[in-house]
Amino acid sequence: MRTQVGIVGAGPAGLLLSHLLAQRGISSVVLEKHSRSYVESRVRAGVLEQGTVDTLVEAGAGERLLREGLVHRGIELRYGGAGHRIAFDKLVPGRAITVYGQQEVVKDLIALDPSRVRFEVSGVAVHSLEDSPAITFDGGRVECDFIAGCDGFHGITRPSVPDGVLTTFERAYPFSWLGILARVSPSAEELIYAATPRGFALHSMRSPTISRFYLQVSSADTLESWPADRIWSELRARLETVPGFTLEAGEIIESGITPMRSFVTEPMQYGRLYLAGDAAHIVPPTGAKGLNLAVADVRVLTAALARFYEEGSSDALDAYSADCLQRVWRAQHFSWWMTTLLHTFDTDDPYAQRLQTSYLDYVTSSEAAATTLAENYVGLPYGWGVQ
């Protein structure tokens, strides 16, 4: 088949790109190795920046999001036996975050036009990236003008770039996150980020009846070492640290352990291949930036492709990587900063512990420091950092 843009990967980046391109009259085909049911059920991030919400609404995928998403105008930092609210509504007026599961975003995007997506495609490979790109798969071939690699960190597009072209930057953290989805109403109205000597914990939610929790655990831990009773006991130990707060427990319906790592590849393009989302960068989930960065990448790529087809200019495509990386590195720093601010790194280093407490005190007592956290958390305006 022939199309203008071949997209590998039916995650939020690939699906959103396809719809935004369609709105500009640009044809695309999305190839996905997994089944539709698998893609729609993968539990991932759930915190959407203001700009991400606005983009999804503009793409026509916002009806259910606006109806069911939980709008939050602040978060709580909990440490030292007290809770401290970072008030987005005061510090960054008019901007908020919305809690809405990534799998729900995927469902909404697929429902707009499933005909552009081919699921359960095996043997995908990309070819002739410098001049006449094509995507082959078992039983077929897609010829296109450009290829968008939206197939995640473990996908096939980034490794298809010749050796020596890309430079990678990585950092692995000495712990992981144990995440659970539980059938229980949230015990708080806003997200709670708790820093304790026992380790970090996060109280989040997906709906009025479904809660999401995370625990900092050892990188060597397995799910078998964390039965339900131990999970709830540890969550209580880390979250029930302020007077009057009680954590409600419920049935655990999903669990998993996620390594904490940072990754960036530069540039995010080669020839007529453009990488977006996790295919180009990974951030620790502490800053809630993964999905939001993918959306930002896709916006930049859509505008660049539209300019190429409408004006015949490749200037924006040539600048794609540089434009995206400004925001990527800002998010990398914010995610690293939030991670170091809230996690336990070395219980045998009292100096580091005092530094961490000092910075938490500063963030929760200084309006300037709190504003820095707030404006990064809700998302910097699109176009920030672009020269």
Tell me the pLDDT tens digit for each residue of 190-234: 999 999 999 999 999 988 999 999 999 999 999 999 999 999 999
Q: Where are the alpha helices (DSSP H) in the chain?
A: 12-23, 36-41, 50-58, 63-68, 88-91, 102-112, 228-239, 290-311, 315-318, 320-342, 350-365, 367-378
The pLDDT of residue 43: 73
DSSP state letter for 277: G
The pairing of beta strand 192-196 with beta strand 199-205: antiparallel
Cα–Cα nearest to 137, from 35, 31, 39: 31
Residue of 193, 214, 270, 274 with catalytic role: 193
**382 an active-site residue?**
no
- pLDDT at residue 387 is higher than 70: no
Residues 6+ apart with CB under 8 A from 327: 293, 296, 380, 384, 385
Tell me the average pLDDT across 97-113. Answer: 94
Residue of 19, 84, 281, 289 with catalytic role: 289
End-to-end CA gap in the chain = 38
**381 an active-site residue?**
no
- Domain spans of the chain? 5-73+95-170+261-345
CA dist 111 and 61 (Å) reads: 9
**377 an active-site residue?**
yes
The pLDDT of residue 246: 97
pTM for the whole structure? 0.94
The pLDDT of residue 386: 53
Cα–Cα nearest to 68, from 88, 92, 48: 48
- pLDDT at residue 385 is higher than 70: no
Residue of 12, 19, 33, 72 with catalytic role: 72
**12 an active-site residue?**
no
Q: What are phi and psi of 346, to 5 degrees?
A: -145, 105
Of the candidate ranges 84-93, 350-359, 364-373, the one whose mean pLDDT is the lowest: 350-359
The pairing of beta strand 70-72 with beta strand 97-99: antiparallel
CB-neighbour burial class of residue 237 (10 A; exposed 0-12, middle 13-18, buried 19+): middle
Q: In which band, very low, low, confident or very high, does the pLDDT at 42 lie, cut at 50, 70 and 90? A: confident
Tell me the average pLDDT across 135-160. Answer: 97
**107 an active-site residue?**
no
The pLDDT of residue 44: 74
Tell me the average pLDDT across 1-17. Answer: 97
Secondary-structure class of domain 5-73+95-170+261-345 per CATH: alpha beta
Residue of 100, 285, 320, 343 with catalytic role: 285
CA dist 276 and 293 (Å) reads: 9
